[in-house]
Structure 1
Amino acid sequence: MSYSILKFDTKTSLLNPKFEGYKLRLVDSGSDDGASGAVQTYQLESASVEPRKLNVNVHLSFDEMYSRIHYNHLFVGPTARSFIYVDSTGKVNLVKLDRQSTGHTYLIFEIPQAINPSSLEGYPGVYCLDSTTMLVFDGITSVYVLLKNELDIEKEHWVAVGMFDIGLGSVVAGPVDGADRRRMHVILGATIARHPEHSEIRMHYCYRMEHETRRSSDTRSHSHPSFAIQAISVLVPGNTAGSNGGPLIPILASTDVHMLPTHAIPLYCKYLGDQFVIGVRDGVVLDETENPCTPPLPSVSVPDLYYWMQTDDDVSVCIKLPETVTASHISCEITRSSLLLQFTNAPECESRLKFENAAFYDHIMADESVWTLEGGRLLTLYLEKVRSGVRWPSVFSTDDGVLETIDPSEFATIREHLAKYTSEKVSSGNKLLIQSAADAMDQDNDDLEQEDSSIVFSVRKWDTGEAISSSTAGSPDWLCSSFAEPPPHGRVGDRAEACSSAHALLPPVCLKFDVDGIVYEIGTDAAGVIGASHIGTFAALSYIQASKREQRFMYVDAAMTVAVLAETQRRIYIYHQIDSPSSTEAVQNIVDIGSGELLGMQITGRSLVLLRENSLCLIDLDLCRM
């Protein structure tokens, strides 16, 4: 199968340039006890929900902290109008809503206590694969397979038929020099394929790892944190039997299928037959499994002509010029992601220095990065890191073998010059010329630096991880995902075969387009090729999202009727879809749910379900719009 581009084209017919804004409509919250109106509140029938706290000596990367902060503790249930949460005692509770939106709670499983209490504790999760199968993750390493007792459907009796472990091996999260360094695992997605004799669970999870790189020319080792996306396969026999918790749960063997290196935790991971679609900020690191049809990133061809050093916040690169030049000979463009350095009327520099859109190892803050020229022979680049604390193993994404070899005393002198000239006004007569160039697409907002990174989607083979198609760097940036939907009903047939039909669709995603949020549907066409299609627009949603400083959750519903933004406490913002393509306004609701931390959010039918520490809150979306 040949490699192709996964296109995210925008349909101008689905944009509304005449849109003026959202009109606030007050919400009837009912009586003080929350028993009527658009908002209803119910106390949990179980113990409270309390997110696990980290020890003060645990060091996590930005991506890991972002994942914890925005972790949704409310999970979609196995059927419509049902959802699941795990309380502070490890009990898995399934809540079903009746037609009157009254919740009925069932205890379906109790997660066994971790054997090693000193392990780094992530958050537990529940993943419904179909209406009769679910996975329960303890947040550390153990995953339990639960099947519904088909002879007792109405009583929600679930049985643990097996368990398996993930993430065995070396660990990295924790104190840099500590003896108890640990690893935090994030489950990205899972699916199930049915076969006559057994079922196959396919799962991806992500963890941070360290690469040790040693070169014969230098005895020092350089480590940098990155992430691994690990795929595993677990076979569940058809005649399994187990108990609801305890030591009698059978142990299932997992098989490593493939591993993909990446610089960030993926935001999207879904399955279609023997392929999966994954979305990662800045994309999966290219390796031998990919054969992109676009040219590879250019490499730096003169490693002997520069040397460099870094701190937690910046990178300094010194380029020794082969001849004396002036500033007029130099054209230097520093963008968020790359360096373009060209020379004119300087033959030796032109022939020996090749920095033509050379991609940096990681993103930089272009408007705070500068270049200097001293004595006509030393060109210095000062690059401000976007991700403070991330160590660069090389200056450029294509490793050219140049290690950190700059002399500390010389580095101190350079920094002194930079500090002087970045704090004073520079005129054309200065001996030291400073120039900086900001990427036109770069948003000057430190709080959103990580969220503004572009997301790259790729379609990959399950058995190898090889990319079949990928989106390009020009694709719209990430805004949010859609609410999870109940899994396919029943167990009949091979799910993998059913998902490969020409009409199979994955949950849509909402991406940025100027000030709007555009929704793409991902699925297969008539020829069975996975593609993306622009199916709708939430006017001004990108602009609105950027203004919300306390945002914790953001989702759109699959039917594109609402977009929901939730703060950590109190306020829920609901933006309804416009009535017609030519409408100039739409309805907005601001719902105050009172004090208490918001821990999770899902949508079922026309009810928005919110999880707090001791209560559930239901918001009737139809009443909100009236």
Structure 2
Amino acid sequence: MFASRPNRALLNPKFEGYKLDAVDEASVLRRQPLPYKPKQTTTSSHIPLSFREVQSRIRHNHLVSSPDLHSVFYIDGELRVVQVSFDDKMEPTCAVVFELPAPMVTDEAGELHREYASVAFAGHNAEMLFVTDGCGTLYTLMVGVAEYKATLSGTHNVPFESDAPRPFKIHTSARVDADSVILLVSAAVRLHDSSKPASVRATVEYDIYALQILLSKSDLEKPKILWHLRGADAPLYSAYAPEHAAFLLIGSEPYRSLTAPPRLSSPELSEQMPLPRTTHGDASRDDTTPPPYAWTQDEEEVTVAFPLPASTSSSAISVLFAPQSLTLRAPGAPSLSTTKLWAPIAPSSSFWTWDAAGSTRYGLLTLHIEKSHAHTRWASLFAENAATSELEVPETLDASALAHIRDALEKFTASAAEQVQNPLPSLASGELDDELDADAGARVVLSWVRASDGQPIPEPWAQSDADCSLSVLSTPLPGTSGLSLIVKHTLDGLFFTRNDHGTWTHARTHPALAFVLASKRDVRFVHHLAHRGVLALEAGAATGGGNAYIYRASGTHALHAPQAILRVAGATAGTLLGVAAVRVGGGDEVAIVCLCENDLVILRDVL
């Protein structure tokens, strides 16, 4: 699996914790009031937002970096496209480069919610900008950086399945060749189930579309839908890999083609426990010979069934229940004489039934044995001794019970192995909270699809990614290049980079990152900047929130790592809406720009 291949030499089990680095806020943080203020209110229907729609809006980044990292763009509350440029001293200049027409919003459908307006560049082309108004219209703008002005090159209505406009959001773009750009967009869809009550009848999923825009065509040309997938939610992260001509989609479930067969929600039939045999390894015995009995259990009762000839009279059956044993006399059944059971039972509440109605060959003698100690699981029917070894038959389990036991066993053995191979950092001693720590990161799967048709990549590296599930703690800082992820591993965060051959490599460990992030309840964005460290940004909606937590990288064997805390959002700045990277001057230094409702905040030299 992706995250189970850590480089052991990069793990640091002796790490003790992060130490506060009291940075001078005046030297690293600059706050600029915004003349054009964004907002995050989009609801345009009387139907409340579903959990997945709310989650998509929380994850939405309102700020986009230009490909050259010299400026950032966002759309304000009046649907004005705003460009923020920076000089060599990181002095920001805000200018409206285009005003989108006010959309004609109706509530005829009754179920459509406006999406946030979104922006994306045409791959690495810093002059071509794609903008959506959140109501279903796509605009192509040509941006003149020096003049702070954009001209409209095309207005497009996306040809979805219905003729009515459908709100959608842009996630990423890719310049696949000289003549075309592919936009990856998502649109919520409500699925109705008439068999359910009206209050819970509709469920929300997300359609993922690849829109091809031919740059040589006129502005009347509609985008072409290359392919269409569907998933449980909007992608947490998406990226284009030109070396494979493929898109990476990260979501809570695999994204599927609508023409593909549905995924099984229950274990395969091959996973069901096979019928017990009585051969005990004797190859001369007939494998079709039925077992002498079958048994199963729940929390309070053990049920044992013996197949007997249908001609058997009930008077020929004798069953005696004792606190520790069972006695059975019946034609065709194993002879049991005070045979000790696995655990004590309640004889007064145990009973048997005989049913041969409608059968000419076999009837069923069923023993209903009540456990003396409820919730105790029996490993076998009889106590282990030489007299009962030939009578033992494995418990019969249905597929769901078998799957539950298998999952519990795998979790236990994996946890035990990790404790042996990967001792926990010392700061976790006595501080573990399994329920709280489980919330760190987003549990996701990776889907690689071809840019041309949306089909899964058949190569082994892509299939290996698709077969694993992992908890993502951090994604790359928007605007920076390179494909990397930080994933949860026990209490740590493992920084993985990916090369052109499709191999993920564990390049650095951020000790106890999952542990410290688990306690942050108002975090909206978590991003990393290459090998330098991790930035966790609170939304600022909670009282006392709005902080930026900076966890800097440390040496492999360091006992401590530096941590800084800066106030970014909240109070007069308002809620945090976006974050992106910009380049400082013409050098390699990268600054972090945070977009709040009222302020623009620039962070320098924090990572």
Question: TM-score band (shorter)?
Answer: 0.5 to 0.7
**Distance between the aligned counterparts of 1:135 and 1:8, measured in 2?**
39
| Aligned partner letter, 1:598 | L
Structure 2 residue aligned with 1:245: none
After superposition, the Cα gap between the structure-2 partners of 1:341 and 1:41, relative to the gap in structure 1 and judged at 3 Å, is farther
- Classify the secondary structure of the residue corresponding to 1:41: strand
TM-fit CA distance, 1:473: 6.2
When the two structures are superposed, what TM-score results if normalisation uses the length of structure 1?
Answer: 0.63
Matched, 1:257 2:257: no
TM-fit CA distance, 1:545: 0.9
**Distance between the aligned counterparts of 1:59 and 1:142, measured in 2?**
23
- Contact kept in structure 2, 1:564 and 1:574, CA below 8 Å: yes
Matched, 1:484 2:459: no
Structure 1 residue aligned with 2:31: 41
| Aligned partner letter, 2:115 | G
Structure 2 residue aligned with 1:422: none
**Distance between the aligned counterparts of 2:442 and 2:232, measured in 1?**
12
TM-fit CA distance, 1:559: 4.3
Deviations 1:436-473 (A, max 9, x none): xxxxx99535x976x76631112222233222224366
Identity of aligned residues (%): 21
Matched, 1:137 2:137: no
- Contact kept in structure 2, 1:610 and 1:616, CA below 8 Å: yes
TM-fit CA distance, 1:166: 4.0
Correspondence for 2:190 among 182, 204, 209: 209
Structure 2 residue aligned with 1:298: 268
| Aligned partner letter, 1:574 | Y
- Contact kept in structure 1, 2:441 and 2:514, CA below 8 Å: no
Correspondence for 2:43 among 48, 54, 74: 54
Structure 1 residue aligned with 2:483: 507
- Classify the secondary structure of the residue corresponding to 1:50: coil
| Aligned partner letter, 2:234 | I
Structure 1 residue aligned with 2:445: 456
**Distance between the aligned counterparts of 1:194 and 1:82, measured in 2?**
25
Deviations 1:544-588 (A, max 9, x none): 111011222221123433433324255323334334222222221
Correspondence for 2:155 among 148, 163, 176: 163
Q: How does 1:434-453 map to 2 (within 5 A)?
A: 443-445=434-436
- Classify the secondary structure of the residue corresponding to 2:32: strand
After superposition, the Cα gap between the structure-2 partners of 1:184 and 1:547, relative to the gap in structure 1 and judged at 3 Å, is farther
Q: How does 1:190-589 map to 2 (within 5 A)?
A: 190-195=173-178, 198-210=179-191, 212=193, 225-238=203-216, 240=218, 250-273=219-242, 274-285=245-256, 297-299=267-269, 325-326=368-369, 353-355=398-400, 357-358=402-403, 443-445=434-436, 454-468=443-457, 469-470=462-463, 471=465, 475-485=469-479, 506-525=482-501, 530-569=502-541, 570-589=545-564
Correspondence for 2:575 among 572, 597, 607: 597
Structure 1 residue aligned with 2:142: 147
Deviations 1:256-315 (A, max 9, x none): 3223232232212211233111111133358775999x999425999xxxxxxxxxxxxx
Deviations 1:131-189 (A, max 9, x none): 2222111112112122335xxx5224432222323474569xxxxxxxx9x97534332
Structure 1 residue aligned with 2:16: 20
- Contact kept in structure 2, 1:607 and 1:618, CA below 8 Å: yes
After superposition, the Cα gap between the structure-2 partners of 1:301 and 1:563, relative to the gap in structure 1 and judged at 3 Å, is closer
**Distance between the aligned counterparts of 1:133 and 1:331, measured in 2?**
69
- Classify the secondary structure of the residue corresponding to 2:14: coil
**Distance between the aligned counterparts of 1:59 and 1:347, measured in 2?**
57
Correspondence for 1:188 among 171, 183, 196: 171
**Distance between the aligned counterparts of 1:348 and 1:226, measured in 2?**
47
Q: CA RMSD in A?
A: 4.4
After superposition, the Cα gap between the structure-2 partners of 1:61 and 1:358, relative to the gap in structure 1 and judged at 3 Å, is farther
**Distance between the aligned counterparts of 1:74 and 1:26, measured in 2?**
28
Correspondence for 2:595 among 611, 619, 623: 611
| Aligned partner letter, 1:229 | D
TM-fit CA distance, 1:126: 1.0
**Distance between the aligned counterparts of 2:441 and 2:150, measured in 1?**
42
Deviations 1:380-419 (A, max 9, x none): xxxxxxxxxxxxxxxxxxxxxxxxxxxxxxxxxxxxxxxx
Instruction: Mark the structure with the bigger radius of gyration.
Output: 2
| Aligned partner letter, 2:578 | G
Deviations 1:300-344 (A, max 9, x none): 999xxxxxxxxxxxxxxxxx99955446699999xxxxxx99996
**Distance between the aligned counterparts of 2:21 and 2:42, measured in 1?**
38
After superposition, the Cα gap between the structure-2 partners of 1:453 and 1:100, relative to the gap in structure 1 and judged at 3 Å, is closer
Structure 2 residue aligned with 1:416: none
**Distance between the aligned counterparts of 2:234 and 2:381, measured in 1?**
42
Correspondence for 1:72 among 28, 36, 61: 61
- Contact kept in structure 1, 2:64 and 2:73, CA below 8 Å: yes
Structure 1 residue aligned with 2:328: none
- Contact kept in structure 2, 1:282 and 1:456, CA below 8 Å: yes
Structure 1 residue aligned with 2:329: none
TM-fit CA distance, 1:65: 0.7
After superposition, the Cα gap between the structure-2 partners of 1:162 and 1:448, relative to the gap in structure 1 and judged at 3 Å, is farther
**Distance between the aligned counterparts of 1:169 and 1:359, measured in 2?**
40
After superposition, the Cα gap between the structure-2 partners of 1:575 and 1:132, relative to the gap in structure 1 and judged at 3 Å, is same
**Distance between the aligned counterparts of 1:329 and 1:262, measured in 2?**
48
- Contact kept in structure 2, 1:133 and 1:145, CA below 8 Å: yes
Deviations 1:486-539 (A, max 9, x none): 6xxxxxxxxxxxxxxxxxx743222111111122223422xxxx2322222222
Matched, 1:116 2:105: yes
- Classify the secondary structure of the residue corresponding to 1:477: strand
- Contact kept in structure 2, 1:598 and 1:612, CA below 8 Å: yes
After superposition, the Cα gap between the structure-2 partners of 1:523 and 1:187, relative to the gap in structure 1 and judged at 3 Å, is farther
- Contact kept in structure 1, 2:136 and 2:166, CA below 8 Å: no
Structure 1: segments with no counterpart, 5+ residues? 31-36, 172-179, 241-249, 303-319, 334-339, 361-365, 367-440, 487-504
**Distance between the aligned counterparts of 1:508 and 1:553, measured in 2?**
16
| Aligned partner letter, 1:136 | V
